[in-house]
Amino acid sequence: MLITTGVAVVISIAAGASIRAWAFAIFAFLVAIGFGGVAFADGSSVIAAILSGVAILAFMETGYLAGVFVSGFLRRSARARENNSVADNVATTHERPQG
């Protein structure tokens, strides 16, 4: 169960960088229902199966948000590096002595 949760979180982090929130919400909800169903089929009570599903859903949503944050941060820093390199080139052309 711990390995399955870890895999779900890693997939969620990767999904945070690539898919829309509504698509991930549908995917996470279906995975949580499946995870709860498997827990119920293994002999857990209905309450324990529901709590397992909600727990995996919470882990997946947290992983998704972390993926969105990290990918946004990396995009902004890449964009800032591009803007700084262009600004440096423009500044050096204006600093040449004329004459």
Give the pLDDT score at 76.
87
Burial 34-68 (b: 16+ CB within 10 A, else e): ebbeebbeeeeeeeebeebbebbbebbbebbeebb
DSSP calls for 19-44: S-HHHHHHHHHHHHHHHHHHHHHTT-
How confident is the model at residue 95, as a pLDDT? 57
Tell me how far CA of residue 94 lies from CA of 42, 54, 77, 89, in angstroms.
Answer: 72, 60, 26, 9
Question: Does the pLDDT of residue 93 top 70, yes or no?
Answer: no
Give CA–CA dist 81/69, Å, rounded: 18
Is residue 26, in this structure, part of any structural domain at all? yes
* 31 and 62 part of one domain: no
Query: 37 and 55: one domain?
Result: no
Question: Per-residue pLDDT tens for 16-58?
Answer: 888 888 888 899 999 999 989 998 999 989 999 999 999 999 9
Q: What does pLDDT average to over the chain? A: 83
User: What residues make up the domain containing 55?
Assistant: 45-92
Residue 3 pLDDT > 90, yes or no? Answer: no
